[in-house]
Amino acid sequence: KQEVTQIPAALSVPEGENLVLNCSFTDSAIYNLQWFRQDPGKGLTSLLLIQSSQREQTSGRLNASLDKSSGRSTLYIAASQPGDSATYLCAGRWETSYDKVIFGPGTSLSVIP
Amino acid sequence: DAGITQSPRHKVTETGTPVTLRCHQTENHRYMYWYRQDPGHGLRLIHYSYGVKDTDKGEVSDGYSVSRSKTEDFLLTLESATSSQTSVYFCAISERAVTVEAFFGQGTRLTVV
């Protein structure tokens, strides 16, 4: 059974700091992994999608990496801003359960001005 | 935002009553999903659909049923609501299976008392 975990559950950093959010998964035969952002009371906004053949994806101040052998993905946020405060979730899809996506519990990020 | 609407946005119901949540899309996407989100669990897949009248179970399908009679509508029914089904429910749509859910609805907060 594939499982996704995210540690820590909450993180608080001062504005301007670079930070890394962690995502771990149990099955290295991952098809792709995606990072989402969720603002309070809102739905999910897709940030980055990494296919199994890729090692990283970048969008603006965000960089996501994928290491299948170690079962880890990281989301790097450069020069954090108060507007980055949100919950960040990672989600994976595996070759053996193609149509299903498994989410981690999320990391709640607070960027303090 | 993508053309995806969930209704109702909030509902309070009594234990034992049936409840139906509606997801409506205007994107003509083939795949539609229902998730529930609970603290510490992230999003868990309840049911999904890969076409009109084609549905399959997710990891937490007990106590739920779905129907999709038209491309644009995906209904989630709680046959006899229980307090454990108090949650926030999200609908998602995807154009292709190879991509993780592209768009999420705003969520429905359901309270069973």
Q: Convert the pLDDT of each residue in A21-53 to its tens digit.
A: 999 999 888 888 999 999 988 888 889 999 888
Question: Considering chain B, what is the average pLDDT of its residues?
Answer: 91
Average pLDDT over residues A92-109: 83
Residues of A in contact with B41 (CB under 8 A): 105
User: Which residue, B52, B49, B47, is CA-closest to B64?
Assistant: B47
For B10-56, write each residue's pLDDT tens digit: 999 999 999 999 999 999 998 899 999 998 778 899 999 989 999 99
Answer whether B64's CB lies under 8 Å from B110's CB.
no
Residues 6+ apart with CB under 8 A from B20: B75, B76, B77, B78
What is the pLDDT, as a whole number, of residue B2?
66
> Which of A9, A41, A101 is opposite residue B101, by nearest beta carbon?
A101
Structure confidence at residue A97 (pLDDT): 67
Structure confidence at residue A99 as a pLDDT band (50, 70, 90) = low
Using a CB-CB cut-off of 8 Å, the residues of chain A touching B96 are none
pLDDT for residue A18 is more than 80? yes
User: B97 vs A55, A105, B35, B102, CA distance in Å?
Assistant: 21, 23, 16, 10
Please list every residue in chain A whose beta carbon sits closer than 8 Å to the beta carbon of residue B46. none
Q: Which of residues 54-113 of B touch A (CB under 8 A)?
A: 56, 58-59, 90, 92, 97-107
DSSP string for residues in A46-105: EEEEEETT-SEEEETTEEEEEETTTTEEEEEESS--GGG-EEEEEEEEETTEEEEEEE--
